[in-house]
Amino acid sequence: MEDFHIKHLSDQQMKELNPIIRQAIYNLLTCSKLAAGQNVAAKELMKFQRRMIPDYWELPDEKIPREELEEIHKALKVKRKKIQPDLTDNLAGI
């Protein structure tokens, strides 16, 4: 992403884009965690999101080890807790 940023985006554009990307990743991880349980709304949202992926999208790099993804999730959760309380408990009734 940094190479793309340097070539095509200003620092101000990246400042606007980064929070959007981070929020999308956090939302996906949270919904995925809830969908792994019994949360019907989260499962339906995940199904809907999968259907929204067009056929022409190339596959992302699947070489990232699962452990690395889990570390990213843990890091995001820790940073988020410093800013706001854990909202996943509140979503359980959705």
pLDDT tens, position by position, for the chain (94 residues)? 778 888 899 999 999 998 888 888 888 888 888 888 888 888 888 888 888 888 887 766 666 666 766 776 677 666 555 544 444 444 444 4
pLDDT reported for residue 24: 85
pLDDT reported for residue 74: 73
- How far is the C-alpha of 33 from the C-alpha of 47, rounded, in Å? 14
| pTM, full prediction | 0.49
Amino acid (one-letter) located at 78: V
pLDDT reported for residue 93: 44
- How far is the C-alpha of 37 from the C-alpha of 59, rounded, in Å? 26
